[in-house]
Amino acid sequence: QVQLVQSGAEVRKPGASVNVSCKASGYTFTSYYIHWVRQAPGQGLEWMGVINPGGGSTKYTQKFQGRLTMTRDTSTSTIYMELSSLRSEDTAVYYCARDVLGASRGFDYWGQGTLVSVSS
Amino acid sequence: EMLMTQSPATLSVSPGERATLSCRASQSVSSNLAWYQQKPGQAPRLLIYGASTRATGVPARFSGSGSGTEFTLTVSSLQSEDFAIYYCLQYNNWPYTFGQGTKLEIK
């Protein structure tokens, strides 16, 4: 069965970086984009960016340019999302979600979410 | 950046009744719109993509319509498990953008 399993909760100080992983299983890893979406406490969903696991190409929303990096390891079917220069406003649950390459069919499977807390 | 506006912010409906949720785009997104349901402490769940196609396993009481800038999600006969927050997402233009959500609550 399709699964996206994310790494556990993280606590960081302002200015630090965090790396969240998303391990895919149950499908062909390179046939689906992986998107990252975050949700601050009590707030709505915010799309952050996407990676094509096949070639590694990425697209990030401008808000995170320079702070956000997505990478992949095809040998372990794992996607990594690194966010640097953390500030308190980055405290949120971070989700990975997949979408098929080509004509989108929406984000049909999601990871369980990873809480990142930023506090001094 | 495309702005997605959902209305109302909160909708109070009795079980068994119909609920109609709206999503408006600041410019045309064609039919590249999805709807998601989110319950407390859970990841979002895909309900509708392509504005009107139900995702696998989604009950037939959920339906989506619209194209261009105006979209609607209808829940024909509300069940207790349908009370949640609903988000629309446009995936026609970068960056993808979500609406701010509509909370569907029990009346």
Determine whether the interchain pair B46/A108 forms a contact, defined as Cβ–Cβ distance below 8 Å.
Answer: yes
What integer pLDDT is reported at residue A65 of this predicted model? 81
Q: Using CA atoms in the order B67, A37, A103, A80, what is the torsion angle rounded to 10 degrees?
A: 170
**Can you tell me which residue has the tokens 């709807």?**
B35
Three-state SS for A106? coil
Q: Which of A4, A37, A58 to mutate to test the interface with B (most CBs of B within 10 A)?
A: A37
**Separation between Cα atoms, residue B99 and residue A45, nearest integer Å:** 8
For residue B13, pLDDT over 90 is answered with: yes
CA distances in angstroms from B51 to A32, B32, B56, B59, listed in the order given: 20, 6, 15, 16
Q: Is the pLDDT of residue A21 over 90?
A: yes
Phi, psi of A119 (to 5 degrees): -155, 145
Cβ-defined contact of B44 to A61 (cutoff 8 Å): no
Considering only CB atoms, A105 lies closest to which of B43, B49, B96, namely B49
B92 alpha carbon, distance to own chain's centre: 16
pLDDT number for residue B73: 98
- Token code pair at residue B8: 């109302």
* Averaged pLDDT for residues A50-64: 95
Look up residue B34 and give its amino acid. A
Q: Kindly report the number of other CB atoms within 10 A of residue B53's CB atom.
A: 14
Contacts of A49 in chain B (CB under 8 A): 95
- Which of A59, A105, A112 is facing B43, going by the closest CB pair? A112
CB A35 within 8 A of CB A46: no
Chain A positions touching B6 (Cβ under 8 A) are none
Residue located via tokens 């998107």 = A35
Q: Which of B104, B38, B99 is nearest to B66 (CA)?
A: B99
* Number of neighbours of residue A7 by Cβ within 10 angstroms: 17
pLDDT digits (tens, 9 = 90+) for A82-92: 999 999 999 99
Number of A to B CB contacts under 8 A, please give it.
67
Give B49's Cβ-side CA count (13 Å radius). 14
Return the pLDDT at A103: 83
CA distance B84 to chain A (A): 13
Measure A113 CA to nearest chain B CA, in Å. Answer: 7
